[in-house]
Amino acid sequence: MSKQTQPTAITSLLLSILLIGLFCVAPTTAQSAAKPWPIRVVIITTFPGEYEMWGEREHLSESVDMPGVELPLHTNADHTVLGMVSGMALPNASASMMALGLDPRFDLTHAYIIINGISGVDPADASIGSAAWANYVVGDVMREIDPREAPADWPYGSFPIGASAPNPPTVQANGNVFALNPALVEWAYHQTKDLKLLDDPSMLPLRNSYAGYPNAQRPPFVLIGDDFASDHYWHGKILTEFANDWVKTFTEGKGNFVMTEMEDSGFMNSLTRLNAIHRVDINRVLVLRTGSNYSMEPPGRTALQSVTARYGGGGKLAEESAWLCGSTVMHNILTHWDKYYEHIPGN
């Protein structure tokens, strides 16, 4: 062996020994790195303002980029809680939820998913700042003609697919209605019903303008109430009547429209599909919406005047209620994780 080849041979031998050693330990390291995080709670918001309090107050300080979602996810130090900003409206909600549910880095099979955001609120049921846990999410797949071309006795121009007029006695679901786990919803409501929600004196004149709507004039409170998801930012007394009729129709009279938003049927559609392939447990999903504005005008004003008015402090008030109620439920789940890992509370 020449002086030139000897160092090369020795180097090759040492390299081989090193590689063998690496291969011996590599599978354990790789498996550890690839093992998905066992997520306990997922908080879903739709825009940064809804998420801000969660990130700051729940110490979701670690950023995680995820393909398919415009903004990064955030997690806590032990990687048991995830926060996501999905983007607004149904397409963003659907795509972001599906991207999260299919990401192999996260084990969501036992995760509780809390959809958490602000909404328009029906003044017949609740006030700005109030928080409603939904038993039903109802979507807006429909037929529609301009109401000026509708028969004179129609209340509006929208009606279910498969029907020939509004409010038929029976209806095809067409992916429009999603029922949540009623026992879990009831449990979440009881954890939060006695919370003192933040109020804002500047909201008093607006509340008082809803003469004849006593629930609209109350300070913020917690209730059970259903939501109607639409990609239209709609508003007004007639459309509020439509939303009430629509929710009743698709829930066979069991549901009551309280909150209106632009994402939840998209979330629920994706979660239903993810449940079918055992990526999530649909029975662990909660929808909490809080009122930032009323869904219709007060007496003495027009729908146009009302829909173009500024929220004032309503948005911030609704975000506070969303965080307070949602985090109360989240911490209860985390505190009793040894029990709630297998056993869904309320069931």
CA distances from 47 to 71, 97, 131, 152, 309 (A): 9, 14, 18, 41, 21
Q: What is the pLDDT of residues 290-327, one digit of tens each?
A: 999 999 999 999 999 999 988 788 999 999 999 999 99
What is the per-residue DSSP string for 11-71? HHHHHHHHHHHHHHHHHHHHHHHHSPEE--EEEEESSHHHHHHHHHHTT--EEE--TT-SS
Which residue in 71, 79, 80, 76 sits closest to 45, CA to CA? 71
Q: Residue 199's CB: how many other CB atoms inside 10 A? A: 18
In this prediction, residue 6 has a pLDDT band, given cuts at 50, 70 and 90, of very low
The whole-number pLDDT of residue 60 equals 97
Average pLDDT, the chain: 91
What is the per-residue DSSP string for 319-332? HHHHHHHHHHHHHH
Looking at the predicted structure, is the pLDDT value of residue 112 above 50? Answer: yes
CA distance 314 to 203: 7
Which residue in 134, 93, 138, 127 sits closest to 289, CA to CA? 134
Let me know: does 312 contact 318? Beta carbons within 8 Å: no
Does 19 fall in a domain? no
Q: What is the mean pLDDT of residues 54-58?
A: 97
CA distance 229 to 252: 17
Q: For residue 298, give its domain range.
A: 35-140+176-340
| β-strand partners of 261 | 229
The whole-number pLDDT of residue 215 equals 98
CATH number at residue 125: 3.40.50.1580
The whole-number pLDDT of residue 10 equals 33
The whole-number pLDDT of residue 322 equals 98
Residues 6+ apart with CB under 8 A from 282: 181, 271, 272, 275
Number of domains comprising the chain: 1
Q: What is the pLDDT of residues 233-277, one digit of tens each?
A: 999 999 999 999 999 999 999 999 999 999 999 999 999 999 999
In this prediction, residue 27 has a pLDDT band, given cuts at 50, 70 and 90, of very low
Does 132 fall in a domain? yes
Does 166 fall in a domain? no
Between helix 48-57 and helix 314-335 the angle, nearest 10°, is 40
Does 201 fall in a domain? yes
Does 25 fall in a domain? no
How large a percentage of the chain has pLDDT more than 70?
90
Which residue in 79, 49, 44 sits closest to 274, CA to CA? 44
The whole-number pLDDT of residue 33 equals 56
Does 162 fall in a domain? no
In this prediction, residue 58 has a pLDDT band, given cuts at 50, 70 and 90, of very high
Instruction: Tell whether pTM > 0.85.
Output: yes
Let me know: does 334 contact 303? Beta carbons within 8 Å: no
Which residue in 159, 166, 164 sits closest to 144, CA to CA? 159
Q: Residue 280's CB: how many other CB atoms inside 10 A? A: 26
Looking at the predicted structure, is the pLDDT value of residue 113 above 80? Answer: yes
The whole-number pLDDT of residue 26 equals 35
Residues 6+ apart with CB under 8 A from 213: 123, 124
Does 212 fall in a domain? yes
Looking at the predicted structure, is the pLDDT value of residue 1 above 50? Answer: no
Q: What is the pLDDT of residues 170-204, one digit of tens each?
A: 998 888 999 999 999 999 999 999 999 999 999 99
Which residue in 104, 52, 107, 99 sits closest to 74, CA to CA? 52
Does 170 fall in a domain? no
Strands 112-121 and 257-261: antiparallel
